[in-house]
Amino acid sequence: MKSIFEELFEKSPVAMLLVNNQRVIQLVNRHAEQLFQYERSELVGHHIELLIPENSQQRHPALVEGYFKEPVPRQMGQGRTLHGIKKDRSLFPVEVGLNPVEKNGEVFVLSSVIDITERHRAEERFKAAFEAAPNGMLMIDQTRKIVLVNKKTEEIFGYSRAELIGYPIEQLVPDDFKAPHPTFVDSYIKKPSPRAMGIGRELFGRHRSGKLVAVEIGLQPVQFEGEVFVISSIVDITQRKTSDAEIKRKTEEIEEFSYRTSHDLRSPLKSIAGMTECILEELEEKNYEGAKKDVDKISQLTTRLLKLIEDILMITKVEASQEQITAFDFDDYAKHLPDKFDAALKENQVAMSFSFMHRKPLMTQSTRLIQVLDNLIINAIKYSDKNKQRREVKIQSFNDMSRFFIHVEDNGLGLPEARQTEVFGMFKRFHSAAIPGSGLGLYLTKKQIDKIGGKISFESSPQGTTFYIEFQLPVE
Amino acid sequence: MKKNILFIDDDESFLTIVRRACSKIATIAEVMTARDGQEGKDLLVQHLQNHSHLPSLIFVDINMPRMDGFAFLRAFSILRDQYQELKNVRPIAMLTSSDEETDKEKAITLGADEYIVKPASLLILREMLSDFVQ
């Protein structure tokens, strides 16, 4: 009759094997047979390596020898995933407990083997979800060491996972915040609850390069085998912040725009109203000469008002135009210029010259580029310097391998140095009111250039102004 | 005694209206005009140097190229600290419309005595100016 202990061993729900110091299996229970799919006779008397995958077989004898030198109850293969191998050569993950047993002065090891396939699968699933999360995911243990990161986290912070796992979380905290951070983590771990981090504050992470990354962080505590871990979900909000700033800038621009348009439209209309009363008085006084002059002024005012309205409408059109891209015909453009600006050229006595030296065509939306060039040229004519003997504007084009350049150069009044940063702003005027202008020309120019993917800059002094336009040419 | 007044405005047509409005106000001697803050300031300095008759009222527009109304008010308060003769000269800001709230406050802060909203009517402008030079 079997002893109660033998019964216990045999019927244990855990697979058990008794092995001697020569690594020979002495006893197995029913569950071990089932787990490894061997008959008892195929196991007893054989080396334990029978149940160990090939890649671990070689080093196993040394491990067993080591264990027998210091036989204490413990888990096998701490921190590693262990596998067993079945008779059909299939592998499965296991957890193995080791217990020394002494009988008649000889020491044996009692191994309990638990199939953790299910748990392992759940873990794998968790890791896969963690990895695939659209946010940066990062898990730390209660000593603040990083234990798990996903690909997105690597991307946000610029570190590979090998450079993160095992290191303190403070590696990703901005310098200013490194010192108090451990205290925050400790207090969180004492009272863990799902919440957002740093509510009401702007949060930053520290990129590998040292740069700060604007982030939003959600915290989620998890309990694993009695230990608390914290999962952080991290969203890089740099993009969002940039768009916020962009919206703010646009709103300010719209406010400025409505303020200025209301002023600039109302002001000449008021003058027209006042002028008509002047004319009425002049007619009563039979001052026909004066009345005629004032009618002329009203006519000028309406012309100017019309131009302003056209410019304002142009601003809305700049956004909308879907013009086809074609090769810009410089010669054709130049041919029409003298006629186009005939009056202004004569009034200001400005000479215009061209030098087109480009070898590659410029593919662009021609109407937009024409508006840009027209505006730069008319400015060069309008703001010419009466004190200079020869007044001129030169238009040049040339290119290198990758870029196309257009320069519009004049020897006019120049832009006042103190205000050169405002040049492309809305409703900016830099010269005497005697020269009419809506203050929108260069603002529109910049908008158009942005739309056709060019860059515009300038240099200006009392000797004159040069505007530089640059386009990237397509790579051949 | 008749008074001189100075108008600083880039709007040439408004200046025309002003001249006509003033031409029928008996208490106004001379109407001086300037097209922006810089011209206005230069004109004052010139008068100070020649000891010629200064304006007792300066009406200054806010939106002007080169030196705007605010910049002029700043420059004027510096000039007034330097020249005793300017002590009784009153700078008055001119607004285009009454909804330019921040402009009102800013003009007063920068030393404008008061502000007016430019009227669209010649007759109302004339009445307004008569009140100022009584």
pLDDT in tens, A59-106: 899 988 999 998 889 888 776 788 999 999 999 999 999 999 988 889
Distance CA B134, CA B130 (A): 6
Alpha helix (H) residue ranges in A349-418? 366-382
**Do the strands A227-236 and A136-140 form a parallel or antiparallel pair, or are they unpaired?**
antiparallel
Pairwise CB contact (< 8 Å): A278 & B64: no
pLDDT of residue A425: 79
Taking CA–CA distances from A281, the nearest residue in chain B reads B20
Q: Give A461→chain B minimum CA distance, Å.
A: 16
Q: How confident is residue A436, by pLDDT bands cut at 50, 70 and 90?
A: low
Q: How confident is residue A33, by pLDDT bands cut at 50, 70 and 90?
A: very high
pLDDT of residue A432: 64
Q: Give A460→chain B minimum CA distance, Å.
A: 16
Chain A hits for B10, CB-CB cut-off 8 Å, are: 433
pLDDT of residue B115: 92
Q: What is the average per-residue pLDDT within A41-47?
A: 93
DSSP characters for A165-196? TTSBGGGGS-HHHHTTHHHHHHHHHHS---EE
Q: How many CB atoms lie within 10 A of CB A416?
A: 14
Convert the pLDDT of each residue in A277-322 to its tens digit.
999 999 999 999 999 999 998 998 898 888 888 877 877 777 777 7
Distance CA A449, CA A33 (A): 79
Pairwise CB contact (< 8 Å): B122 & A274: yes
pLDDT of residue A434: 61
Chain B hits for A433, CB-CB cut-off 8 Å, are: 10-12, 35-36, 64-66
Chain A hits for B12, CB-CB cut-off 8 Å, are: 297, 433
For B96, the closest of A266, A277, A430 (CB atoms) is A266
Q: How confident is residue A1, by pLDDT bands cut at 50, 70 and 90?
A: low
A262 touches chain B (CB under 8 A): yes
Chain B hits for A271, CB-CB cut-off 8 Å, are: 11, 13-14, 17
Whether residue A433 has pLDDT greater than 90: no
CA-CA distances (angstroms) from residue A123 to A130, A229, B94?
10, 15, 76
Q: Give B98→chain A minimum CA distance, Å.
A: 11
Q: What is the average per-residue pLDDT within A411-436?
A: 77
Q: Which helix (H) or strand (E) holds A117?
A: helix A117-132
Q: Give A391→chain B minimum CA distance, Å.
A: 23
Q: Give B91→chain A minimum CA distance, Å.
A: 21
CA-CA distances (angstroms) from residue A79 to A15, A224, B41?
21, 14, 84
A1 touches chain B (CB under 8 A): no
Beta-carbon-side half-sphere exposure of residue A52 (alpha carbons within 13 Å): 19
Chain B hits for A264, CB-CB cut-off 8 Å, are: 63
pTM of the complete model: 0.54
Chain B hits for A434, CB-CB cut-off 8 Å, are: 35
Interface of A with B in 428-447 (CB under 8 A): 429-434, 439
A278 touches chain B (CB under 8 A): yes
B12-23 and A238-284 helices cross at what angle (nearest 10)? Answer: 40
Distance CA A308, CA A439 (A): 9
List the structure tokens of A261: 């348009």
Whether residue A429 has pLDDT greater than 80: no
pLDDT, chain A, mean: 89
**Do the strands A455-461 and A106-115 form a parallel or antiparallel pair, or are they unpaired?**
unpaired
Whether residue A26 has pLDDT greater than 80: yes
Asked if the interface predicted TM-score (ipTM) of this complex is over 0.90, the answer is no
Pairwise CB contact (< 8 Å): B17 & A275: yes
For A263, the closest of B35, B63, B119 (CB atoms) is B63
Convert the pLDDT of each residue in A319-374 to its tens digit.
777 778 899 999 999 998 888 888 888 888 999 999 999 999 999 998 889 989 99
A271 touches chain B (CB under 8 A): yes
Taking one residue from A and the other from B, the number of pairs with CB-CB distance under 8 angstroms is 79
Asked if residues A255 and A248 have their Cβ atoms less than 8 Å apart, the reply is no
What does each of the 134 residues of chain B score in pLDDT, given as a tens digit?
789 999 999 888 899 999 999 999 999 999 999 999 999 999 999 999 998 889 999 999 998 888 899 999 999 999 999 999 999 899 999 988 777 778 888 999 999 999 999 998 999 999 999 999 88
Pairwise CB contact (< 8 Å): B13 & A268: yes
Chain A hits for B35, CB-CB cut-off 8 Å, are: 432-434
For A271, the closest of B13, B36, B100 (CB atoms) is B13
Which of B18, B20, B24 to probe the A interface (max A CBs under 10 A)? B20
pLDDT of residue A435: 66
A383 touches chain B (CB under 8 A): no
Convert the pLDDT of each residue in A150-169 to its tens digit.
999 999 999 999 999 999 99
